[in-house]
Amino acid sequence: MGNNLIPLRIAGVGYSVPDAVITNDDLTKLYDTSDEWIYSRTGIKERRVVSGEENAIDLGFAAAKNALEKAKMAPEDIDLIIAASSAPPDLYPAIACHIQARLGISTQVPAFDITAACTGLIYALSIAKAYIASGMYKNILLVATDNNSRLVNWEDRGTSILFGDGAGAMVVTASDDGVDDVIAIDIKSDGSIGDLIELSFDGKNCPLVEQYEPKPQGIRMNGRGVYTFVAKVLPHYVENLIANAGMKAEDIDYLIPHQANIRIIQAVQERLGYSDDKVVTNIKYYGNTSAASIPLALAESVEKGKVKLGTTAVLCGFGAGMTWGGAIVRLREGIC
């Protein structure tokens, strides 16, 4: 990092999940499937889902409060809010604006959402890093939250088995000791294969002109296509991210990946040569929580003592777009 750029400190992480649990056995009431089929192909046993009025904004708000407490910061200390979501409950107001209001932040701090699907937290962290480095903002709240259970087609057994709901949040701030907690960060996309995972939001044409054929509702995914692409690209990508930072895999303590499929996680793990105790997986209990997946895995594993602090971790994710990205971060004492 150049001399004039301000380093970033990760000050706090938090998470929130809804109470309702749907097991693989529960799904057999909806379609022809089995716990054995789902678990052996994905590593998922159950997922949490929102119910009633609850949505991704509620989950994001709870995770944000949790991260602020861990960071020992008051809502008024925050000068920018970025929310990442695959499909916000409202296109506007942004989730970030809802959270600003719910936190009771009375100053008119900027708040906006980004869409990079399951890579959302890495994209948001990359944006926050640039803002902090430039001195433009000092204390940034990142919230990654999704309620995919409202957006999947519950008649599509190939897709709806995978997703769950949850939120993760991170407070990042200008570091005052010269140490940057983001050792390396990189984000990528390839829009030419965007049709691998799609969720349309298309409305209707003006009634005075020709209408168009509306696209089917709900998340549409070519599961096999996503799997093949990611299994080919991601292990090599993470390996390069580490090498480009001038590090070796053994220099890093933990792998905290997007929780989409246990076999994809294992492919990255094998490439890095990591033992199971270095790899964070909670897919068994939450499924794929999209943008929330990485910060949820991070915050929960620290809280439960699986991940020790005073360590480093490589985060990596991929999702609709297609987007993918990775970051090597320092996990200081006190973040959770």
Q: What residues make contact with ligand UT7 under the rule CB under 6 A?
A: 33, 37-38, 41-42, 118, 157-158, 161-162, 197, 223-224, 226-227, 260-261, 288, 319
Distance of closest approach, residue 296 Cβ to ligand UT7, in angstroms: 13
Per annotation, catalytic residue among 24, 66, 118, 139: 118
Is the distance from CB of 159 to CB of 283 less than 8 angstroms?
Answer: no
Scan for tokens 């490589």, then name that residue.
314
Is the distance from CB of 16 to CB of 62 less than 8 angstroms?
Answer: yes
* DSSP state for residue 279 in the 8-state scheme: B
Cβ distance to ligand UT7 smaller for residue 10 or 234: 234
Q: Which residue is nearest to ligand UT7 (CB)?
A: 223
Q: Specify whether 258 is catalytic.
A: yes
Cα(182)–Cα(71) distance, rounded to whole angstroms?
A: 17
Distance of closest approach, residue 213 Cβ to ligand UT7, in angstroms: 25
Q: Specify whether 316 is catalytic.
A: no
Buried b (16+ CB within 10 A) or exposed e, 158-167: ebbbbbbbbb
Distance of closest approach, residue 316 Cβ to ligand UT7, in angstroms: 12
Per annotation, catalytic residue among 66, 98, 148, 258: 258
Cβ distance to ligand UT7 smaller for residue 175 or 266: 266
Distance of closest approach, residue 220 Cβ to ligand UT7, in angstroms: 12
Cβ distance to ligand UT7 smaller for residue 80 or 256: 256
Residue type (1 letter), 189: S
CA angle 290, 291, 295 (to 5 degrees): 110
Cβ distance to ligand UT7 smaller for residue 12 or 287: 287
Cα(12)–Cα(200) distance, rounded to whole angstroms?
A: 34
Non-local (6+) Cβ contacts of 211 within 8 A are 204, 205
Q: Any idea which residues carry the catalytic annotation?
A: 118, 258, 288
